[in-house]
Amino acid sequence: ATPAATMVGTTIGAGHGVLFKGGDVLERAKDVDTVVFDKTGTLTEGEMELTDVVAFDSDGALVPDGGAAQQRESGDDAPAPSDAGRDAEREVLRLAAIAERGSEHPLARAIVDGAEERGLEIPEADDFENVPGHGVRAAVEGDEVLVGNRKLLTDEGVDASAAAETMERLEREGKTAMLVARVPAGTDDGELIGVVADADTVKSSAADAVEALRDRGVDVMMITGDNERTARAVAEQVGIDPENVRAGVLPEDKSAAVEEIQADGRQAMMVGDGVNDAPALAVAHVGTAIGSGTDVAIEAADVTLMRDDPLDVVKAIRISDATLQKIK
């Protein structure tokens, strides 16, 4: 494109909150044939909320629903929750929140906020370790507490099979379910004590963005560290084909996943917001960052969407197309 056309395109973009980092990016965007969305914070609001707390007793049996996660309304005619269940659930939530207090992860923030909203006291853990892509491990009141995915517990030798059905149910609802385990001091006998779940809201324009891209003949994919079932539930809500979902992708593997997608000559636009997404944004044909995302993502990207709106992905491609057609 001529410098004048590039200037016009860049200016039009800026007017829509679509910031192109230079003329070459503006030229490349029109060739995008595949858009790969990160899930959390990109297709979803990234504002997690605690939705469920489930307790298991030491025999691995499900403790009767105590309703601890519900903010109950008066006049609610659901069955009265059991007191024993409620106490057990509050203890699961309390331990999970203490363990998560040291984490900045949105999943962790929701657990801590949820516990505090329910009147629980959440002191700092004595020791804390973040296990990226899996969860946290912390020293709480003399015991070790684990909060995270199946892999985290398996690696610690904790049997989580009793929670399988509960996990699947929550995941089918599109929630991120996390296992909570306690390893008593001086032993290797970690036991499952419960499950907590967080839910996120899909952005209101996400489905329209996916539809508009498909109307243009652009393939739409999703990539996430979250598990397959939750990822598919969200994909279904926004209209992404289940076979286009790459779930359980570790932070360090996201860029390799984008390279694999591009290996057959595809020109992918990766859209993301997190530190995790930065390497993938850098290797994509076009990297697009969500404006409210992390600085690292914005630096790695070629385009920034100031309005955090997935529909602006379509706008970016259209502006590129229009700019380059005019000068032909």
Binding site for Mg ion (CB under 5 A): 38, 40-41, 273-274
Q: How far apart are CA 20 and CA 22, in angstroms?
A: 6
Minimum distance from residue 24 beta carbon to ligand ADP (Å):
29
Overall residue count recorded for the chain in this entry: 328
Contact pick of 42, 51, 149, 255 for ligand ADP (by CB under 6 A): 149
Nearer to ligand ADP (CB atom), residue 18 or residue 153: 153
For ligand ADP, give the closer residue by CB, 166 or 176. Answer: 176
66 makes contact, choosing from ligand ADP, Mg ion, none, with CB < 5 to 8 Å by partner type, with none
d(CA 269, CA 272): 10
Residue 38 falls in the annotated catalytic set: yes
The partner in contact with residue 109, picked from Mg ion, ligand ADP, none with C-beta cut-offs of 5 to 8 angstroms by kind, is: none
CA distances from 30 to 48, 224, 267, 320 (A): 34, 25, 10, 5
Structure tokens at 44: 């979803």
Cα-based angle 2, 16, 28 (whole degrees, multiple of 5): 40
Q: State the binding partner of 148 from ligand ADP, Mg ion, none, CB within 5 to 8 A by kind.
A: ligand ADP
Among 6, 103, 166, 294, binds ligand ADP (CB under 6 A): 103
Q: Which of residues 113-142 bind ligand ADP (CB under 6 A)?
A: 133-136
| Residue whose C-beta lies closest to Mg ion | 41
Residue 273 binding result from Mg ion, ligand ADP, none, given CB thresholds of 5 to 8 Å by partner type = Mg ion
Choose, by CB under 6 A, the member of 66, 174, 190, 225 that binds ligand ADP. Answer: 225
Residue 64 Cβ, how far from ligand ADP at the closest point, in Å? 25
Q: What is the per-residue binding string for ligand ADP in 269-288, x denoting contact by CB under 6 A? A: -----x-x------------
Shortest distance in whole angstroms from residue 27 CB to ligand ADP: 30
Total binding residues for ligand ADP by CB under 6 A? 22
| 182: contact with ligand ADP by CB under 6 A | no
The single residue of 38, 198, 226, 308 carrying the catalytic annotation is: 38
Which residue, 11 or 292, has its beta carbon nearer to ligand ADP?
Answer: 292
Question: What residue ranges bind ligand ADP (CB under 6 A)?
Answer: 39-40, 100, 103, 105, 107-108, 133-136, 147-149, 176, 178, 224-226, 251, 274, 276
The catalytic residues are 38
